[in-house]
Chains A and B, each alone.
Chain A
Amino acid sequence: MATKAKNTFADKKMFARAIKDSFVKLNPKIQAKNPVMLLVYISAIMTTILWVIALFGIKDAPTGYTLAIAIILWFTVLFANFAEAIAEGRGKAQADALRASRKDVDANKIPSVDKKDQITVVPSALLKKGDIVIVKAGEQIPADGEVIEGAASVDESAITGESAPVIRESGGDRSAVTGGTTVLSDWIIIQVTSEAGESFLDKMIAMVEGAARKKTPNEIALQIFLVAISIIFILVTLSLYTFSVFSADQAGIENPTSVTTLVALLVCLAPTTIGALLSAIGIAGMSRLNQANVLAMSGRAIEAAGDVDILMLDKTGTITLGNRQAYEFIPVAGVTDKELADAAQLSSLADETPEGRSVVILAKEKFGIRERQLSESNMKFIPFTAKTRMSGVDYDGNEIRKGAAQAIKEYIENAGGEFTEECDYIVKTIASQGGTPLVVAKNHKVLGVIHLKDIIKQGVKEKFADLRKMGIKTIMITGDNPMTAAAIAAEAGVDDFLAEATPEGKLNMIRDFQTKGHLVAMTGDGTNDAPALAQADVAVAMNSGTQAAKEAGNMVDLDSSPTKLIDIVRIGKQLLMTRGSLTTFSIANDVAKYFAIIPALFMGLYPGLSALNIMGLHSPLSAILSAIIYNALIIIALIPLALKGVKYRELPAGKLLSRNLLVYGVGGIIAPFIFIKLIDMMLVLFGLA
């Protein structure tokens, strides 16, 4: 948003704060929130106590070894804290910037719109819902509100990071203003919609800072799974102690298994990698969304974005460029296309509408007809009026007109000319292709037709094809008539369309999809979009939209960009994929850890078990130390991945799964074998074990 940190690690201040926070988070109350790490925390305390007792001579393992295990366990906890702290870092920096703009200002309260001059100055913190204030150029808007009179340009960079001012005016869909933004010119009268402490800015600060972060249902479900696995491992280690006692007893030797080693085994086996990174993944997902300038009202909304399989996209701005453009000149028989283009360009020289400009440009591109100077000859431009529904130019006794087919037809027939059937056919053909025909006539004779067309944005067709591969259907929403809509839909490659869309139409379509078991995402800005936004599973309200729309949605797009929906889906999916992949990695790691620790534990009891020491680790102590050091370091190693998210591709589910399984499942089995062996070699090299 306001500051886009390109590289998390580059920011030294953030880094220092994260290190400090890692220690602050050692508070048992904070640790208690993450059961898996709580287990490591308790284990660290336990081994520390064992070490202290060992100093007094009561020990079942070498004192130095117990100390080493205790230190590594403390580092494991700190690394987990650091992962969370660094993920929160970016949000905290944003929150600080936002807080700066939330300062208390004086508000010019007025009793009603009619009494603009009866100003009472009150602090913005004391404004109540429904109060009316006037804000003039140069003043900060004191609270969130709805513009009820006036229009002004407003600098919203404090929240959007976008420096270009935006227009906010009463009525229509651009009436919402946000407290903390500044009026640059003119004045507006605002009705306050939220009180201090509940404003959009407050919500935003809480969201980016992660203070309002609640565990999402999926996080809870995953945590249940992790806790269950941890419980199994607690039972595995506890029972292993008694098994060891039994076996040693049978063999008539001393029990080879120390409590310290069992604690180390427990921590190694528990899913600490994912346990340590779980909350960092969630925060980072939220943070990525913030970086895309989207503010989610809950973590749940991001997860829902991953599940969405229907995207309802507005045609204009998302699928097509804003306006229609000249696409082709179709002359009638006896007229060359160059003649037509020439006439069309002449008639459009003074036409400043995007359509008019596009005619001029097309003629230049296709036929090299230069734009002529308006003063070139004795030209008189006839502007478009609602009455004539034509525009054109008169020059040197010639009369060129262009306009809708019906208007030109009347113009020609009134002059006694004939609107040919050929021309009629061309007009109908263009209309059936979803285009808009503009007929050009010179001296009451039809020259041909300009085909104006909605221009599909580059790359959208491919984008939609990718989305389809992932099982996401795209629905185009447009006010066009069904024929035009169908033609554009076919060209853009959307799966379906809603023509002549009304707010009720949208709402019904969403409901319809939902009853069939789909999850629907949409964007909206107007007040009349509010019901549909409230119904949709993922509802992105434009920041430029009305207050009602913003309240009905579960995300706000600060850029007010209609294509944002696709990014949101990507971020949602990436978040879930990261969570799943790291869980798989974490559990797959256990295979290697068993092969490191079990032979180390019982080689003395059953020498044959040394066959399981396939890594050829140096000694039982070095094996256990290597495994637990690996366990701690892998957390640090995976922080960048947790923050960035796993690589995202638009692929069908099956392919995504096999790819991620290969990388994180198979990789998760192999990696620890290599690294534990390396750590073991280092320990031996430095004579530490």
Chain B
Amino acid sequence: MSSVIQYILYLAVLVILAIPLGAYIKKVMSGEKTFLSRILTPCENAVYKVMRIKKDEQMNWKKYLISVLIFSGIGLVFLFLLQMLQGVLPFNPQGLAGVKWDLSFNTASSFVTNTNWQAYTGESTLSYLTQALGLTVQNFVSAATGIAVLFALIRGFTKVKTDGLGSFWVDMTRIMIHVLIPLNLVIAIALAGGGVIQNLKPAETVSLVEPIAVSADGEIIENADIDVDANTVTVDGQIIDGAQIVTEQFVPMGPAASQVAIKQTGTNGGGYMGVNSAHPLENPNPFTNILEMISLLLIPVALCFTFGMSIKNKKQGVAIFMAMFIMLAIALSIIAVNEQAATPQLAQNGAVDLSMVDQAGGNMEGKETRFGIATSSTWAAYTTAASNGSVNSMHDSYTPLGGMITMLQMQLGEVIFGGVGCGLYGMLAFAILTVFIAGLMVGRTPEFLGKKIEPYEMKWAVLVCLATPIAILVGTGIAAIVPSVPDSLTNTGAHGFSEILYAYSSCGGNNGSAFAGLNANTVFFNVSLGLVMLFVRFLPIIGTLAIAGSLAGKKRIATTAGTLSTTNALFVFLLIFIVLLVGALSFFPALSLGPIAEFFGSIA
């Protein structure tokens, strides 16, 4: 029972915190006064002055789009060059060399697209300068871009017969100054207080309390008798040749807390450490864990309420929230049940404790003992729902069905809350598809929030919704026949296939979480995954802004009893159904060759 209470608590705290934040963001974006205005508005105005931003500019959708693309394009090129040249740049106490071109491209695409897929290991590849000036900056602005595009779409719904969607630069400034910076300041301080490291020291070396032995090919030798003085390793009286004794440990240092805060709140997910929030210095204890876990879904949830308030239809915001929340709760339940019940092999003869009481039981492989099943499963559900991608456990080691759900959440196009801003505008595109089908069934040509849905909106809405399936299917489809790919896999058969599918699902959903097990740092993976990330980020942005521009130019249709309600339970159900249907129809064959085959194989 205790873990059920944990699950409910995590969901409840999330929603309770998100509602006021949603109201706050709405006020900020419409230029209303907030309790922080007295301090922050002067900063905002100063930025306008310095950057020569016209505060009341109304961009049409094309200009808004061009601003987004230029801004992201500059970020991409800058980040690419920064990595290539980090060897000759300052703030590199460990003297790390420049990053290879393909990895640089992959990482630059990854951070500009708010994906944070990491084909590198942070602590041993990137200098402090690259981390701070490159990655952290992108963590902020890529998140802000998502919210800005969402607001352009909101204005498309609210405005009538005009083409102005607001100013991208003003939107960015407001989100940065009023939302992301203060929020992350608070979270970073709390995390540092909770024990997450925050310094500028080079990595340290410490002595191990107990030395360990490693075989010639790098595997830890268990049950070994180690004689440090004689430098011999014996197992059952046999001396192991070529075994090495390790007495010291590498301990990474650096400004982690500040980067972890934005990694979570901006649904970025790029860990400071290679193993992300499973690392004890990045996420040391249950307090930092709940803080990081809640903050990773906080803004996406809040934006649902912001949306409702901004379009002056709170019920609509709640309806969209409910659709996402129900899917999240279902996903979480499936993961939790499967991880708790583990596999028949683990359950055999009571080999593993599977109970939910006291000591964490269930499938603990790849999970931290300090977190257990409940917190690991919740994090896994949250991070793949929000296109965050940070992890506190290894999804590769999940049960077939538990792991499948994490994959499926990404394949659905990251619309179960999804990335900041982009999750919601993706979901609104699904809502457009839903009203199209449902609207016809009530004998009307479709409309959503008073705006008619015509061929133009339909064209872009399907592209927004289908960008993710297209990218994942094409990417995985090609990867499956590239001869070098099997060499990157740790596993064979169905699980090996899952590893490839997961990688493309993660990048195709702009999620960035890794299934582990896959060595993705090859030219093929770096380039193909980089292209996938760019495609699924910018095609929906183009589509969303095109829809926003077209909707803003339309008149508003009156609501009557003949109008399809988009706020009631039936619509919520239909929306969920359409999202699941598109996902299921696209991925059922692929999943049945991966996790489903694995599942039936394991119970056979």
* Chain A residues engaging chain B, CB cutoff 8 angstroms: 217-218, 220-222, 224-225, 228-229, 231-233, 235-236, 238-247, 249-251, 269, 303, 306-307, 309, 468-473, 515-519, 572-574, 576-577, 579-581, 583-584, 587, 590-591, 594, 598, 601-602, 605-609, 611-612, 648, 652-654, 656-658, 660-661, 664
**What is the number of contacts between chain A and chain B, taking CB atoms within 8 Å?**
213
Cβ proximity bits B575-600 to A, threshold 8 Å, 1 near / 0 not: 00000011011101110110011011
* Distance of A269 Cα from B574 Cα, bound (Å): 21
Cβ proximity bits B441-478 to A, threshold 8 Å, 1 near / 0 not: 11111100010011101110011001001100110111
* Residue from A249, A471, A591 whose CB has the most chain B CB atoms within 10 Å: A471
B436 within 8 A of A: yes
Cβ proximity bits B39-64 to A, threshold 8 Å, 1 near / 0 not: 00000000000000000000000000
B496 within 8 A of A: yes
Q: Which B residues touch A228, using CB under 8 A?
A: 462-463, 466
* Distance of A228 Cα from B430 Cα, bound (Å): 13
Contact pick for B497, options A232, A241, A246, CB 8 Å: A246
* Distance of A597 Cα from B440 Cα, bound (Å): 30
Q: In this complex, what residue of A is CB-closest to B489?
A: A250
Contact pick for A472, options B560, B581, B601, CB 8 Å: B560
B424 within 8 A of A: no
Q: A221-B453, A240-B590, A247-B593 are contacts. A608–B604 as well, Cβ < 8 Å?
A: yes
B561 within 8 A of A: yes
Q: Which B residues touch A602, using CB under 8 A?
A: 592-593, 597
B33 within 8 A of A: no
Contact pick for A309, options B441, B558, B574, CB 8 Å: B558
* Distance of A306 Cα from B445 Cα, bound (Å): 7
Q: In this complex, what residue of B is CB-closest to A235?
A: B473
Q: A225-B436, A576-B443, A606-B494 are contacts. A472–B480 as well, Cβ < 8 Å?
A: no
Q: In this complex, what residue of A is CB-closest to B160?
A: A517
Contact pick for A653, options B462, B561, B601, CB 8 Å: B561
* Distance of A235 Cα from B478 Cα, bound (Å): 11
B66 within 8 A of A: no
Q: In this complex, what residue of A is CB-closest to B471?
A: A235
- Whether A580 pairs with B556 at a CB distance below 8 angstroms is no
Contact pick for B470, options A235, A306, A661, CB 8 Å: A235
- Whether A658 pairs with B570 at a CB distance below 8 angstroms is yes
For window 186-231 of B, CB contacts with A under 8 Å fall at none
- Whether A250 pairs with B496 at a CB distance below 8 angstroms is yes
Q: Which B residues touch A579, using CB under 8 A?
A: 440
- Whether B493 pairs with A239 at a CB distance below 8 angstroms is no
Min distance, Cβ A296 to any Cβ of chain B, angstroms: 15
B5 within 8 A of A: no
For window 541-558 of B, CB contacts with A under 8 Å fall at 555-558
Q: In this complex, what residue of B is CB-closest to A244?
A: B593
* Distance of A579 Cα from B492 Cα, bound (Å): 47
Q: A224-B455, A238-B477 are contacts. A652–B593 as well, Cβ < 8 Å?
A: no
* Distance of A282 Cα from B456 Cα, bound (Å): 21
B302 within 8 A of A: no
- Whether B469 pairs with A242 at a CB distance below 8 angstroms is no
Min distance, Cβ B185 to any Cβ of chain A, angstroms: 43
User: Per DSSP, are chain A's interface residues mostly helix, strand or loop, or mixed?
Assistant: helix
* Distance of A231 Cα from B557 Cα, bound (Å): 32
A sample of 17 cross-chain residue pairs with beta-carbon separation below 8 angstroms, ordered by A number, consists of A224-B455, A224-B458, A235-B474, A239-B477, A242-B481, A243-B476, A251-B493, A473-B560, A576-B443, A579-B440, A581-B440, A583-B440, A605-B593, A612-B600, A653-B563, A653-B564, A654-B564
* Residue from A247, A587, A648 whose CB has the most chain B CB atoms within 10 Å: A247
Q: In this complex, what residue of A is CB-closest to B586?
A: A232
* Distance of A80 Cα from B589 Cα, bound (Å): 28
Q: Which B residues touch A609, using CB under 8 A?
A: 592, 596-597, 600
Q: Which B residues touch A225, using CB under 8 A?
A: 433, 436, 458, 462
- Whether B477 pairs with A309 at a CB distance below 8 angstroms is no
* Chain B residues engaging chain A, CB cutoff 8 angstroms: 433, 436-446, 450, 453-455, 457-459, 462-463, 466, 469-470, 473-474, 476-478, 480-481, 486, 492-494, 496-497, 500, 555-558, 560-565, 568, 570, 574, 581-582, 584-586, 588-590, 592-593, 596-597, 599-601, 603-604
A224-B462, A577-B441 are known contacts; what are 16 more A-B pairs with Cβ within 8 Å? A218-B446, A221-B454, A232-B470, A232-B473, A232-B586, A239-B476, A245-B480, A519-B557, A573-B444, A583-B440, A587-B585, A606-B600, A653-B442, A653-B444, A657-B570, A660-B441
Q: A224-B455, A517-B556, A602-B592 are contacts. A469–B442 as well, Cβ < 8 Å?
A: no
Q: Which B residues touch A469, using CB under 8 A?
A: 561
Min distance, Cβ B206 to any Cβ of chain A, angstroms: 42
* Distance of A220 Cα from B462 Cα, bound (Å): 13
Q: In this complex, what residue of A is CB-closest to B458?
A: A221
Q: Which B residues touch A468, using CB under 8 A?
A: 561
The 10 A-B residue pairs with the shortest CB-CB distance, nearest first, are A580-B440, A471-B562, A608-B600, A573-B443, A239-B477, A471-B560, A471-B561, A580-B441, A517-B558, A228-B462
Q: Which B residues touch A229, using CB under 8 A?
A: 585
Q: A225-B436, A657-B438 are contacts. A612–B592 as well, Cβ < 8 Å?
A: yes
Contact pick for A652, options B444, B445, B555, B561, CB 8 Å: B561
Q: In this complex, what residue of B is CB-closest to A216?
A: B445
Contact pick for B562, options A245, A472, A590, CB 8 Å: A472
Q: A240-B590, A243-B590, A579-B440 are contacts. A653–B562 as well, Cβ < 8 Å?
A: yes
Q: In this complex, what residue of B is CB-closest to A238?
A: B477
- Whether B459 pairs with A224 at a CB distance below 8 angstroms is yes
Q: Which A residues touch B600, using CB under 8 A?
A: 606, 608-609, 611-612
Q: Which A residues touch B500, using CB under 8 A?
A: 246
- Whether A608 pairs with B597 at a CB distance below 8 angstroms is yes
- Whether A652 pairs with B562 at a CB distance below 8 angstroms is yes
Q: A225-B433, A269-B585 are contacts. A471–B563 as well, Cβ < 8 Å?
A: yes
Min distance, Cβ A611 to any Cβ of chain B, angstroms: 5
- Whether B478 pairs with A242 at a CB distance below 8 angstroms is yes
* Residue from B453, B462, B492, B564 whose CB has the most chain A CB atoms within 10 Å: B462
* Distance of A519 Cα from B444 Cα, bound (Å): 11
Contact pick for B477, options A243, A303, A590, A606, CB 8 Å: A243
Q: In this complex, what residue of A is CB-closest to B558?
A: A517
Q: Which A residues touch B596, using CB under 8 A?
A: 609, 612
Min distance, Cβ A484 to any Cβ of chain B, angstroms: 28
Q: Which A residues touch B556, using CB under 8 A?
A: 517
* Distance of A657 Cα from B443 Cα, bound (Å): 9
Q: A243-B480, A251-B493, A602-B592 are contacts. A218–B568 as well, Cβ < 8 Å?
A: no
Contact pick for A590, options B441, B457, B565, B585, CB 8 Å: B585
* Residue from B486, B496, B586 whose CB has the most chain A CB atoms within 10 Å: B586
Q: A247-B593, A250-B493 are contacts. A572–B476 as well, Cβ < 8 Å?
A: no
Contact pick for A654, options B493, B570, B584, B589, CB 8 Å: B570
Min distance, Cβ B293 to any Cβ of chain A, angstroms: 33
* Distance of A607 Cα from B584 Cα, bound (Å): 22
Q: Which A residues touch B494, using CB under 8 A?
A: 247, 606
- Whether B445 pairs with A218 at a CB distance below 8 angstroms is yes
- Whether A606 pairs with B441 at a CB distance below 8 angstroms is no
* Residue from A217, A472, A608 whose CB has the most chain B CB atoms within 10 Å: A608
Q: In this complex, what residue of A is CB-closest to B588?
A: A594
Q: Which A residues touch B589, using CB under 8 A?
A: 236, 240, 243, 594, 598, 601
Q: Which A residues touch B557, using CB under 8 A?
A: 517-519
Min distance, Cβ B593 to any Cβ of chain A, angstroms: 5
* Distance of A652 Cα from B500 Cα, bound (Å): 48
